[in-house]
Structure 1
Amino acid sequence: MVLVWFFLTALIIVGAQYLWYRRFVLRHLDYSRDFNKIVCFEGEEIEMIEQISNNKRLLVPWLYIESQLEASLKFGKSDNFAVSSGSLYQNHHSFFTLRGFTKVTRKHKIIPMMRGKYKLNTVSVTSGDLMSLAKVNRTIQLNGKLTVYPKPIAIPLDKIPYHSWQGDVSVKRYILPDPFVVAGTRQYEAGDTFKQINWKATARAGSLQVHQYDFTANRKLMVVLNIDDREGMWRVVSNPSMIEDGIRYVAGITEEVIKQGMQAGFATNMRTAQQTHSLYIEPNSGENHWLSILDAMATLELERTESFSELLDAIIASKVSYTDFLFLSSYWNEELEAQLNQLRSHNNAALRLQLTDFQNVDGRETVLQEVTAG
């Protein structure tokens, strides 16, 4: 009889805790997950911070959290954080045990390997009773966002063959480091860089003075990247890594040009995730403008919107003038060369460069070669 009562009591206790946990285990339970930054560059280490709070007296004996993210966000090792990764997405599993009125914070190291805009969408939270008989599931919406900019690859601009700006004729228009002739000084204005300050003139005048260059007002560089990697290309890119490198080069070129106090713009026969037409950003100056270029680059789709020839036709039709054009392309032909000559005839300078295979020697070293007409 004693044994019967023992089993009956045990059954009542197990059933009671089953019903109790099934009803209350996920109540007053708060969970959040976010990045410690909203923007970063490829290869930069950041943190993903998850916090969970049990705002009740009831012990949560076990809590299983599952979520999914893009595979290009590489996670470091963690004792309580398992990652199973595929080619496009990866599943994350976290396990917690929470006493009453307890808050737990975990930080996970992440290295974004690819530009893009990432969003933390939802997590699935599962918990239950002490005996794991009851299982209760809830989906929690997340709002965390991360924008990953392409990592700028510096190009030694002083190595660029200047004669190419106008065919084989040397000209006095340069894109490089010290391209200006100082014509005097002027009052400091918003947007002027620290490098432009003339300290001697500032001391004499008693207010900030900057160098006045005789060509500063019209210094514009338009960098144009061609996604076409072969004749007769369709929408699909056959060499994505080369185009990704091209995007990184544009980031490096525009950064250097804007640092020199000039204006830089960017165009390509690709589109961003928010538009259907080719990307075209007018030249402008200042760090905020460079960041806007990077922001657009983050969402560029590796999909051709139009042929490069059609993009050049649109640029020519806009009657742009007094602008330096730098074209990055994996191939060239006579039709494109003729279009460049049209641009040059409207008081523009144009240089065409070819992206070639890169070599890994103590890091990445990519070679830029001048394109020859087909």
Structure 2
Amino acid sequence: MILLFLGLLFSAFWGIRYYWLHNWQKGLSIAVEMKQPQVFPGEIFTLRQIVFNQKNFGLPFLRLLISFDPHFDLVEADHEKPINDLFQVFSLASWSRSEKVFRIKGHKRGVYPLTELQLHCRSLLFQEAVTQTYPLDKEIMVYPKLVSTQEIFQILHTSLGEQLAKQGLVSDPLSFRGLREYRSGDAIKQLDYKKSAQLNQWMVRQYDPTANQEVTLVLDLPETTNWKSDPLAEVSISLFASLAKECQQLGYLVRCQTNGRNQTGQHLFSGNAVTTSVILQNCSHLALSQTVPTKDHLLLPSQQRNHNCLIVTSAAAWSSEKALLAEEMAGTSGIVLLATKLAQETTSNGKLTIREWVIT
């Protein structure tokens, strides 16, 4: 009788174990939501995990895990810490839900896909740990860092691009369109101090494009493998994106070209006019390991040669051979903005120097 009872108990135990192993993940719905996953370096976005257990038995131990790139920090109330794997440990009763919000800060320009999440589960009765993988089609985009363009426009003002700088620094008053509230990244010179004082908030002047306000920006990235990880290459991308954004705010029609490619080797700019959002997104997709030779994008089509043209590059990419090639490009309308970091000029905070290389 005792053996029969033990046999029935053992059978019941294995029956419960079999049922749990084959049904624990059923009735589980998992959602991952991100708010503003397009950020500049140092900005914070939020990620929300929602798990709903829609069945008649609970799950006492769950761990939800999303693999993250190390270039992100988890921001908590009193500190920040690097993320390797973003995980949440919790339990769920039957027909209950768990929700967790994470604040995350990105540091390095790039596009970071989130392709899957893993759910680990344990029971109080059994030793087995089971795992279920769920596909995740999410993407975090970290734009290039925007830098001040004041020094750039000072260079343009004293170089062959004087006409471009004059139009940019002192916009045609006939093209004035109106005022709007100040936004992060707006040029200080566009502030309307009188109106700002009246309304007790910062206001900036807006201008409509005037005839022939067009500029071609060329981003020249390193070709040599040894230089592709150089910090100056990232500085070039930041200068390029910042200058493009500034020119568009001043009313220019902006065209872009580059020898950079995305991670799969595809072109990112075709020389057509583009918006600021497209420029920022494409710059985020640039993979320095995929850059190609410079020749094709420095030799611009003849129909563009009458436009103002600026090449944004760095000491890591520029050479006398490229300078000769660039002279064939745009006559007297081309200027090279060259980011350099010279030992004798490097301050304690690693300040970068920008100098012009005028195409004559």
Pairwise TM-score range, normalised by the shorter structure: 0.7 to 0.9
Aligned residue for 2:25? 26
Q: Provide the alpha-carbon RMSD of the alignment.
A: 3.7
Pick from 109, 118, 128: which aligns with 2:112? 118
Aligned partners of 2:119 and 2:132 also within 8 Å: yes
SS of the equivalent of 1:270 reads coil
State the shift of 1:334 in Å.
4.2
Q: Note if contact 1:224-1:327 (Cα within 8 Å) is conserved in structure 2.
A: yes
What one-letter code is carried by the residue in structure 2 that aligns with 1:225?
A: L
Matching of residue 147 in structure 1 with residue 141 in structure 2: yes
Percentage identity across aligned positions?
17
Is the 8 Å Cα contact of residues 329 and 355 (structure 1) preserved in structure 2? yes
* Matched residue, 2:355: 369
Return the letter of the residue paired with 1:328.
V
Distance 2:310 2:175 in 1: 30
The correspondence for 2:341, drawn from 357, 365, 370, is: 357
Structure 2 letter corresponding to 1:321: R
SS in structure 2 of the partner of residue 218 of structure 1: coil
Residues 25 and 128 in structure 1, CA contact (< 8 A), matched pair in contact too = no
| CA distance in structure 2 between the partners assigned to 1:173 and 1:128 by the alignment | 66
Tell me if 1:160 matches 2:155. Answer: yes
Counterpart amino acid of residue 159 in structure 1: Q
Deviation at 1:291, TM superposition (A): 0.5
Separation in structure 1 between the aligned mates of residue 270 and residue 112 of structure 2, nearest angstrom: 23
Q: C-alpha distance in 1, partners of 2:206/2:136? A: 50
Superposed CA deviations along residues 102-138 of structure 1, whole A, max 9, x for unmatched, are 1010011211112222222112223243223344332
Letter in structure 2 aligned against 1:75: L
Q: TM-score, normalised by structure 1?
A: 0.74
**Matched residue, 2:60:** 61
Q: Work out which of the residue numbers 77, 81, 94 in structure 2 matches 1:100.
A: 94
CA shift in 2, pair 1:175/1:270, >3 Å: farther
The CA distance in 1 between the partners of 2:302 and 2:264, in whole Å, is 23
The Cα of 1:163 is off from its aligned counterpart by: 3.9
Q: Does 1:302 align with 2:288?
A: yes
Q: What is the match of residue 169 of structure 2?
A: 178
Contact 1:221 1:283 in 2 (8 A): no
Alpha-carbon separation, structure 2, partners of 1:140 and 1:50? 13
- Give the letter for the 1:45 counterpart: I
Deviation at 1:251, TM superposition (A): 1.4
Whole-angstrom CA distance in 1 between matches of 2:335 and 2:206: 28
Residue 329 (structure 1) aligns with: 313
The answer for the alignment partner of 2:278 in structure 1 is 292
Instruction: Give the aligned partner of residue 266 of structure 1.
Output: 256
Q: Is the 8 A contact 1:32 1:51 kept in 2?
A: yes
Distance change (3 Å), C-alpha of 1:243 and 1:280: farther
Structure 1 pair 366/132, CA: closer, same or farther in 2 (3 Å)? Answer: farther
1:7 Cα deviation from its structure 2 partner: 6.6
Q: Give SS of 2:289's match.
A: coil
Are the aligned partners of 1:237 and 1:303 in contact in 2 as well (CA < 8 Å)?
A: no
- SS in structure 2 of the partner of residue 27 of structure 1: coil
Q: Give the SS at the match of 1:174.
A: helix
Amino acid at match of 2:28: L
Distance 1:58 1:221 in 2: 65
Q: TM-score, normalised by structure 2?
A: 0.76
- Higher Cα radius of gyration: 1
- In the other structure, the counterpart of 1:252 is 242
* Contact kept in structure 1, 2:268 and 2:282, CA below 8 Å: no
- What displacement does 1:333 show? 4.3
AA aligned opposite 2:282 = A
Are the aligned partners of 1:355 and 1:368 in contact in 2 as well (CA < 8 Å)?
A: yes
Q: Does 1:312 align with 2:312?
A: no
Q: How many residue pairs are counted as aligned between the two chains? A: 329
Q: Which runs of 5+ in 2 are unaligned?
A: 181-189, 193-204
Q: Deviations over 1:303-328 (max 9, x none)?
A: 35433244312x1x443133112222
Moved more, 295-304 or 274-283: 274-283
Q: Deviations over 1:220-252 (max 9, x none)?
A: 222222212xxxx53453443211121111111
Q: What are the equivalent positions in structure 2 for 1:149-228 lying under 5 Å apart?
A: 149-156=143-150, 157-165=152-160, 172-174=163-165, 177-182=168-173, 184=174, 216-228=210-222
Secondary structure in 1 matching 2:64: strand
Counterpart of 1:300 in structure 2: which amino acid? Answer: L
Structure 1 residue 176 displacement after superposition? 5.8
- Residue 173 of structure 1 deviates from its aligned partner by 4.3
SS at match of 2:99: strand
Counterpart for residue 202 of structure 1: none
Q: Deviations over 1:274-310 (max 9, x none)?
A: 65347444345xxxx1101111111111035433244
1:282 aligns with 2:272: yes
